[in-house]
Structure 1
Amino acid sequence: MAVSETTTLWRPVGPEELELIRQTGMKAFPPRLPEQPIFYPVTTEEYAVKIARDWNVKASGSGFVTKFEVENTYLAAFDIQEAGGREHLEYWIPAEDLPNFNAAIVGRISVTQEFP
């Protein structure tokens, strides 16, 4: 059985972040703001849906779930973090390492769900 070289991750985003992702040709996530010390992609689409639907919609009027592949060799440097429950698993990527994270994305970022 072949081992995958990438891991599928998801990221819930609001409309402003999605626009910045679109400006990269759907290839990268934008730099973090000063008050955002970590970038947290999540490990399941269900968790991303919950954040996009319940948090992003309230904060900005709409929420989106993005999906993308990241090289396993990059992710190996990070532990999966539990954020409030066993079903809430995410990677914590330091903001200053986001350019390296973006370089480890394989293919394009896609939008899988949208919430008005």
Structure 2
Amino acid sequence: MIDFILHYWVEFILGVISAGVTAMFAMCYRKLVQKGREQESMREGILAILHDRLYLICQYHLGQGEISPNALKNIEYIYKSYHKLGGNGTGTELYQRVKKLPLTLEGVDYDEN
């Protein structure tokens, strides 16, 4: 009788433990996949916002025909983040065109020393 209990019940308990561990791993894997999808969605959203901002500010300065050093530095800052996130050639082309604009002295900070 004791052999019956040891043989079948130990097998049963080990099977339940194995199933529980497998279920736990499956649940953790699903959460990791979901978190990865959320991060990708956030990256795409930030990239879209940077593209929009870069596009609008470049179009403005290209329409003006000139740019201040401070504005150029701001565009460069936006462009670097946009490019690191994998932005496409549209932003790069606009940035290159804006860099060729003549500089204006408007918006330049001078030290009074």
Q: TM-score range by the shorter chain?
A: under 0.3
Looking at secondary structure, tell me which structure has more strand per residue.
Answer: 1
Which structure shows the higher helix fraction?
A: 2
Larger Rg: 2
- Higher relative contact order (Cα pairs below 8 Å, separated by 6+ residues): 1
